[in-house]
Structure 1
Amino acid sequence: MQSTNLDSVTIDTPTGPFTVVAGPHGAVRAAGFTPEPANLLSLIHPSLRGELRQRAELGPVTRAVADYLAGDLAAIDTVAVEQHSGGAFMSHAWEVLREVKPGEPVTYTGYAALAGRPAAIRAAAAACARNAAALFVPCHRVLRTDGTLGGYRWGLPVKQWLLGHERRG
């Protein structure tokens, strides 16, 4: 089996370093608020992993993040994402999550309903937890039923900053 090269870039943000790992055709395979691309490899499905190469920028992906940070909250919407879940619901739930608008967070219950399975609240939460492409698949836009933040792989201060940035947008 031939090894795939994955390109990575780390971008400074107001809430700390944000690293993106993209496949050979530029689709985001993982992203998160960490300075270390290697920290993201375990989030990528084994079939999509490869050798990491650090880059100064990733063209449209880097521009989309910069535009998002500058206030164009829709800039990240068109960036291609490539994740593999092993299940139809999870893949569908990630697609649905990309449709949740900035500044309009939903609850886990609301997210499950948007994904077409209103009773599948735990499955919706699992889709958020297993999402490798933070920001591009905006799991930070999902809140607990009581409106509190809930969990976030990259920490609640980051989630709070992202939601505040999107409210101000």
Structure 2
Amino acid sequence: MTTIATPHGPFSVLVDSQGTVLASGWTTDLDSLLALVHPTLRDDVGGDAAVALAAVDAYYAGDSSAPARVPVRQHSGEFRMHAWDVLRRVAPGAPVTYTEFAALADRPAATRAAAGACAMNAAALFVPCHRVVRSDGTLGGFRYGLDIKQALLEIERTRAA
């Protein structure tokens, strides 16, 4: 695990032997991040996180799309894995509702499953689940706190304007 300072606190990344992000978030708790990594991927934790950390730095320096250019590897069921790929295509500054996210993931009636994909996302920022909000515009949940989710959305909204 490698940790860097960000304006929203320490940000840690776990990568595999190829530098692919397995888990990330605003924490220094290795055990909490490792618990998010699918058991079949845990044996490969421990590569060089330089590319991932450079993307986090670039994000905070003004390039909201930088994390989307870093490979991510998560494992789950077919819908959830597809939903995580879809999340990576949600543009900075253009958040979607959980209902819209479900439709983008080709399952318009699966709003709860779409919300579950956000909740189970291990690779915060790299898979931008913070870009999904409730249909009434309120934030919903976020593993690292609503203050960080709101700040990220505001950063991206300001940059996109």
Pairwise TM-score range, normalised by the shorter structure: over 0.9
Q: Which runs of 4 or more aligned residues in structure 1 lie more than 4 Å from their structure 2 counterparts after TM superposition? A: none
Distance 1:74 1:152 in 2: 20
Aligned to 2:61: 70
2:97 aligned partner: 107
Equivalent position of 1:162 in the other structure: 152
Contact 1:20-1:37 within 8 A present in 2 as well = no
Q: Which structure has more strand as a fraction of its residues?
A: 1
Give the equivalent residue in structure 1 for 2:30: 37
Partner of 2:71: 80
Residue in 2 that maps onto 1:26: 19
Contact 2:13 2:23 in 1 (8 A): yes
Query: Number of residues paired by the alignment?
Result: 159
| Identical columns (%) | 57
Q: Which residue of 2 aligns with 1:143?
A: 133
Residues of 2 paired with 1:152 and 1:158: CA distance?
A: 8
| TM-score (ref. length: structure 1) | 0.90
Q: Tell me, what secondary structure is at the counterpart of 1:49?
A: helix
* Aligned partner of residue 37 in structure 2, secondary structure: coil
1:94 matched to 2:75? The reply is no
Unmatched 5+ residue regions in structure 1?
1-7
Give the gaps of 5 or more residues in structure 2: none
1:122 paired with 2:122, answer: no
Shift in CA distance, 113/52, structure 1 to aligned 2, threshold 3 Å: closer
